């Protein structure tokens, strides 16, 4: 559903303004001095450069992805989900929403702390002030993005004046001896380190999301997002760099650690300290307003994609401007809960904890944006043609790795916990959103790797140790051949490749539409049953003449099929063409497995597989297939029994020794049973295997003239037995490899 939007914001108002106001926020006034005091000027500059490097690399990735596809609402969530798919998008979308939602109380607590420090008499009312401020920002956000952005213009003017007066005042009080004394770090306790300071300072660099999150309200997102984001990043870098250098030489270490904000006011130009106070108020309120605008839009976009459970209520927007009012109310609730928890502590410890949480959320979000851009580029999709030309996959993967490494350097336990939560949520969504397709870049990435690996595989010499079943299952209506399909999947889906092929006979022009219907039906059958298999539907004029063409034509380079699964032909009238099919397939080097269907065993199989050994050629294939079968959970309690019939008692011990040595050499767990009998084999077979879960039996390829006798003999032999798999090996599968 296409949502109409009437806001149509430009680059300056829609991206640069909310971004730069969030960047030049509470950290600049309330925590930058403390970080300089603890870390020293040199380390503070390193912290700034690392933080800005991460956001600059992320901005490159944002610019590439946002100029490669029409950008809708949801900002970073939209970019990630359309590049990496709905599972990653949903997981990161919720993380990003929480990051933005938690940022609201973060900035409001910063505002309230500044207020009570400027007016100490207001300290007892800390919680009430924070709650009232939250409600006020909520009401401004409720009026819509246009009015909120206009409010931010006024805030930016106040913030600009504030920066001028405190920077100018600090510069006039600059002292080189103070600057030299503040150059190096002097951490005041063992719990404080470079990375602790980085975690506290990093929210100063996270404002790039404020503009990106307004993507659904922009007139031209592809143009505005890159231009506005880079302008905000470099504006922030310049101002923060100057701040570190200037106030590092204007305030003593004691002032930096304990009263940097108050000192900035005292040193302000023309004694305009009130403008510094107004500036911190403007910075914190504008940043809080930016998060109040961004968080609901992310949640609304996630809800509209219908990938995360229980978010459907947030899908609907307002009639005018499509404002996410429901998501906004939910963001308000989260903010009030956090403020209530933190509001009793006006000393700043809760503020610092929230800063670290925000840092972790944003680091993972930035990391995923970089990975999304890397996947888009490295996959080599022809559709990846971003208008932003200053992009390469190397900075993207560097930025992604940098975000993750930085998260673990800050707090390895918190980073690991956050990663586990995102991964668990990803796998939960992966099962839920299987049918959602955004045309994301993963297809191209997988295709690129597959192409490369296929070419390498084609040049690699084949060795019996590397034999894997690549199974071609000839099926009609899939529901009618469930047993045959299940055995093929049990054997080949985990360690091989299974392709279900349905054959339609007739004229290709007449059956073209019916082929697509049959293909959709087969694909739906695979999806509904959660089968790991490929599918194909082919039209042949004559099945008897076309089977060899299917076998030869169905090939993906070195992954050509080596085993054909066919149903047993019980109809005596079909015995000649049936045997002709077997001969054709076998002459092309295929192993054959014929399934005489007598139903599937119970879900919890506790019986046994009976393998009738009558020679190594077929026996090797049967034992390997039985081993693959018991690797499935449904067959984990099954036993393999290897049976051989001999004519006299004197041969029992040598036959048993030979088979046991073979089983041991093959590293297979199987019970060997030697049966001495002169009775017809059919009688022996029924006497010993009528209660087996499945029977494996080898056969020698008959000639076409023997077709009727072959079909009749085996039909009689197998009657009354459980499902039986008849094997005729090509000799490729070697049990001793």
Count the helix, strand and coil residues of the chain and give each as a percent rounded to the nearest 5: 65, 10, 25
Domain end, chosen from 390, 407, 442, is at 442
Angle between helices 76-84 and 32-66 (to 10 degrees): 50
Can you read off the two tokens belonging to residue 247?
A: 């106030």
* Dihedrals phi, psi of 348, to nearest 5 degrees: 105, -10
Cβ(121)–Cβ(105) under 8 Å?
Answer: no
| pLDDT value of residue 172 | 93
Residue 663 to residue 483: CA distance in whole angstroms = 28
For the chain, state the CA radius of gyration.
35
CATH code, 566 = 3.40.50.12370
- Same domain as 357, residue 423: yes
Residue 473 to residue 567: CA distance in whole angstroms = 9
pLDDT 10s digits, 452-478: 777 777 676 666 666 788 888 888 788
Q: Is residue 432 part of a domain?
A: yes
Residues written for the chain? 737
Q: Is residue 457 part of a domain?
A: no
Residue 329 to residue 142: CA distance in whole angstroms = 9
Can you read off the two tokens belonging to residue 85?
A: 């798919």
A 10 A CB-CB count for 389 gives 8
Q: Is residue 595 part of a domain?
A: yes
- Same domain as 333, residue 217: yes
The stretches in the chain having pLDDT less than 50 are 1-6, 346, 434
- Same domain as 326, residue 255: yes
pLDDT 10s digits, 472-523: 888 878 888 888 889 998 888 777 888 888 888 888 888 888 888 888 888 8
Can you read off the two tokens belonging to residue 233?
A: 């990043």
Closest CA to 95 of 262, 236, 298: 298
Cβ(504)–Cβ(538) under 8 Å?
Answer: yes
Return the SS3 of 539.
strand
Residue 106 to residue 133: CA distance in whole angstroms = 12
Residue 256 to residue 503: CA distance in whole angstroms = 79
- Same domain as 142, residue 32: yes
Cβ(231)–Cβ(53) under 8 Å?
Answer: no
The sign of the dihedral angle between the CA atoms of 258, 261, 267, 273 is negative
DSSP state of 649: G
Residue 398 to residue 627: CA distance in whole angstroms = 44
| pLDDT value of residue 1 | 40
Cβ(381)–Cβ(439) under 8 Å?
Answer: no
Return the SS3 of 502.
strand
- Same domain as 570, residue 520: yes
Range of the domain at 186: 11-442
Cα 677 → chain centroid: 60
Residue 59 CA: distances (Å) to CA of 199, 388, 395: 20, 11, 10
* Dihedrals phi, psi of 450, to nearest 5 degrees: -65, -45
Can you read off the two tokens belonging to residue 250?
A: 């204007």
Closest CA to 592 of 726, 408, 705, 417: 726
Cβ(210)–Cβ(363) under 8 Å?
Answer: no
With tokens 């304990």, the residue in question is 258
Residue 124 to residue 247: CA distance in whole angstroms = 31
Concatenating the DSSP letter of every residue in 454-497 gives HHHHHTSPP-GGG---EEEEEESSGGGGHHHHHHHHHHHTTTSE
Domain tally, the chain: 2
Q: Is residue 102 part of a domain?
A: yes
Q: Is residue 2 part of a domain?
A: no
- Same domain as 519, residue 372: no
Q: Is residue 82 part of a domain?
A: yes
DSSP state of 218: B
Residue 616 to residue 461: CA distance in whole angstroms = 24
| pLDDT value of residue 3 | 43
C-alpha triplet 379, 94, 293: angle, nearest 5°: 105
- Same domain as 519, residue 419: no
Residue 186 to residue 184: CA distance in whole angstroms = 7
- Same domain as 189, residue 59: yes
Closest CA to 728 of 601, 603, 535, 581: 581
Count of helices and strands (H, E) across the chain: 28, 10
- Same domain as 263, residue 167: yes
- Same domain as 190, residue 297: yes
Q: Which residues pair with 672 in a beta bridge?
A: 642
Q: Which residues pair with 55 in a beta bridge?
A: none
Residue 54 to residue 401: CA distance in whole angstroms = 10
Q: Is residue 1 part of a domain?
A: no
A 10 A CB-CB count for 6 gives 11
CATH code, 54 = 1.20.1740.10
- Same domain as 304, residue 199: yes
- Same domain as 487, residue 398: no
Domain end, chosen from 392, 407, 442, is at 442
Domain end, chosen from 442, 473, 492, is at 442
Residue 65 to residue 79: CA distance in whole angstroms = 7
Q: Is residue 237 part of a domain?
A: yes
Residue 663 to residue 613: CA distance in whole angstroms = 12
C-alpha triplet 654, 657, 661: angle, nearest 5°: 140
């Amino acid at each position: 559903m296409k949502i109409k939007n009437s806001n149509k914001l430009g680059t300056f108002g829609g991206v640069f303004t909310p971004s730069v106001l969030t960047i030049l926020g509470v950290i600049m006034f309330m925590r930058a001095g403390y970080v300089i005091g603890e870390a020293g000027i040199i380390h503070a500059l390193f912290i700034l450069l690392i933080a800005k490097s991460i956001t600059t690399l992320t901005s490159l990735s944002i610019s590439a992805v946002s100029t490669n596809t029409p950008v809708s609402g949801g900002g970073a969530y939209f970019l990630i989900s359309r590049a990496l798919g709905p599972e990653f998008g949903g997981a990161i979308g919720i993380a990003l929403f929480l990051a933005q939602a938690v940022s609201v109380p973060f900035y409001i607590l910063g505002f309230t702390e500044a207020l009570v420090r400027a007016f100490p008499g207001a300290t007892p009312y800390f919680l009430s002030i924070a709650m009232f401020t939250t409600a006020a920002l909520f009401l401004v956000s409720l009026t819509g993005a246009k009015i909120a952005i206009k409010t931010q213009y006024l805030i930016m003017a106040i913030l600009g004046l504030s920066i001028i007066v405190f920077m100018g005042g600090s510069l006039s009080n600059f002292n080189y001896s103070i600057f030299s004394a503040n150059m190096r770090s002097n951490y005041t306790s063992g719990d404080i380190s470079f990375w602790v300071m980085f975690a506290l300072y990093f929210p100063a660099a996270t404002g790039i999301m404020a503009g990106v999150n307004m993507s659904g309200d922009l007139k031209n997102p592809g143009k505005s997002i890159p231009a506005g984001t880079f302008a905000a990043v470099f504006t922030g870098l310049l101002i923060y760099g100057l701040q570190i250098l200037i106030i590092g030489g204007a305030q003593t270490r004691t002032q930096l650690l304990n009263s940097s904000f108050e000192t900035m006011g005292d040193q302000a130009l023309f004694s305009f300290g009130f403008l510094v106070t107004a500036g911190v108020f403007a910075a914190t309120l504008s940043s809080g307003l930016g998060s109040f605008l961004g968080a609901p839009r992310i949640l609304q976009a996630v809800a509209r994609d219908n990938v995360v459970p229980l978010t459907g209520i947030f899908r609907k927007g307002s009639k005018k401007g499509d404002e996410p009012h429901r998501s906004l109310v939910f963001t308000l609730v989260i903010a009030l809960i956090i403020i209530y928890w933190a509001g009793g502590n006006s000393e700043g410890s809760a503020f610092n904890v929230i800063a670290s949480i925000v840092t972790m959320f944003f680091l993972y979000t930035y990391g995923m944006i970089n990975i999304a851009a890397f996947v888009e580029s490295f996959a080599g999709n022809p559709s990846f043609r971003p208008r932003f030309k200053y992009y390469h996959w190397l900075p993207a993967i560097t930025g992604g790795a940098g975000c993750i490494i930085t998260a673990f350097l800050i707090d390895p336990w918190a980073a690991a916990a956050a990663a586990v939560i995102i991964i668990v949520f990803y796998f939960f969504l992966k099962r839920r959103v299987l049918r959602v397709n955004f045309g994301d870049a993963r297809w191209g990435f997988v295709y690129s790797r597959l192409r490369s690996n296929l070419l390498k595989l084609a040049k690699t010499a084949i060795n019996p140790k590397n034999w894997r079943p690549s199974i071609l299952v000839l099926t009609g209506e899939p529901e009618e051949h469930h047993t045959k399909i299940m055995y093929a999947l049990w054997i080949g889906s985990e360690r091989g490749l299974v392709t279900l092929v349905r054959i339609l006979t007739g004229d290709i022009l007449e059956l073209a539409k019916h082929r697509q219907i049959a293909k959709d039906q087969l694909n739906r059958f695979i999806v509904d049953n959660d089968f790991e298999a490929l599918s194909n539907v082919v039209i042949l004029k004559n099945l008897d003449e076309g089977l060899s063409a299917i076998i030869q034509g169905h090939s993906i380079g070195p992954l050509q099929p080596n085993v054909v699964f066919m149903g047993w032909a019980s109809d005596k009238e079909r015995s000649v063409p049936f045997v002709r099919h077997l001969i054709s397939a076998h002459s092309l080097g295929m192993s054959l497995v014929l399934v005489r269907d007598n139903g599937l065993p119970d879900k919890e199989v506790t019986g046994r597989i009976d393998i009738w050994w009558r020679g190594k050629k077929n026996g090797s294939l049967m034992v390997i297939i039985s081993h693959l079968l018991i690797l499935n959970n449904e067959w984990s309690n099954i036993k393999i029994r290897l049976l051989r019939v001999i004519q006299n008692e004197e041969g029992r011990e040598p036959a048993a020794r030979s088979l046991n040595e073979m089983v041991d050499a093959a590293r297979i767990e199987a019970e060997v049973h030697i049966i001495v009998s002169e009775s017809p084999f059919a009688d022996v077979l029924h006497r010993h295997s009528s209660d087996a879960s499945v029977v494996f039996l080898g056969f020698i390829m008959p000639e076409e003239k023997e077709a009727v006798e072959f079909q009749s003999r085996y039909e009689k032999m197998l009657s009354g037995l459980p499902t039986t798999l008849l094997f005729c090996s090509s000799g490729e599968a070697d049990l001793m490899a």
